[in-house]
Amino acid sequence: ISKEMFAEFAHNVEMHEMNQDHVVFKGGEKGDKFFLIIHGEVRIEVDKYVSTSVQSSPLGQKKNLRRSMSMDIGHLGPGKYFGEMALVDKEHTERSATAVCNKHSILLSVSGEVFHKIF
């Protein structure tokens, strides 16, 4: 990237200090920022739906129950980034996963507007 673009990027960066278990964003929310991990660790989770058959009456009739479970799909550390997918595809701006801090973390973020100017 050019020096001018880098300067704009640096000028528009926000720093976020987040505690363990802080939810950075949830799947389904509108994505408007890109994040870079400076310190700490962030886990990425997706919802998985599980069906279970249970006996619902003394006559042995079964009923299917469907419930949502979070499934870890990755752990990211310093130097890694996340949140870009909702910014790359302009037609699907919803977050595809949930991001949660595994421990105290320091993140940098850039708005979608600046992201699109640079990338």
Per-residue pLDDT tens for 84-105? 887 887 777 888 899 999 999 9
CB 12: neighbour CB atoms within 10 A?
15
Please report which residue ranges of the chain form alpha helices under DSSP H. 3-11, 85-88, 112-118
Q: Residue 49 above 70 pLDDT? A: no
* pTM of the model as a whole: 0.76
Q: Residue 65 above 60 pLDDT? A: yes
37 close to 49: Cβ distance less than 8 angstroms: no
Bridge partners of residue 108, in order along the sequence:
15, 36
- pLDDT for the residue numbered 6: 79
pLDDT mean over 63-69: 66
- pLDDT for the residue numbered 86: 79
69 close to 47: Cβ distance less than 8 angstroms: yes
Report how far Cα 1 is from the mean position of its chain's Cα atoms: 26
Q: Residue 56 above 70 pLDDT? A: no
34 close to 87: Cβ distance less than 8 angstroms: yes
Q: Using CA atoms, how far apart are residues 78 and 109, in angstroms rounded to an integer?
A: 14
- pLDDT for the residue numbered 67: 64
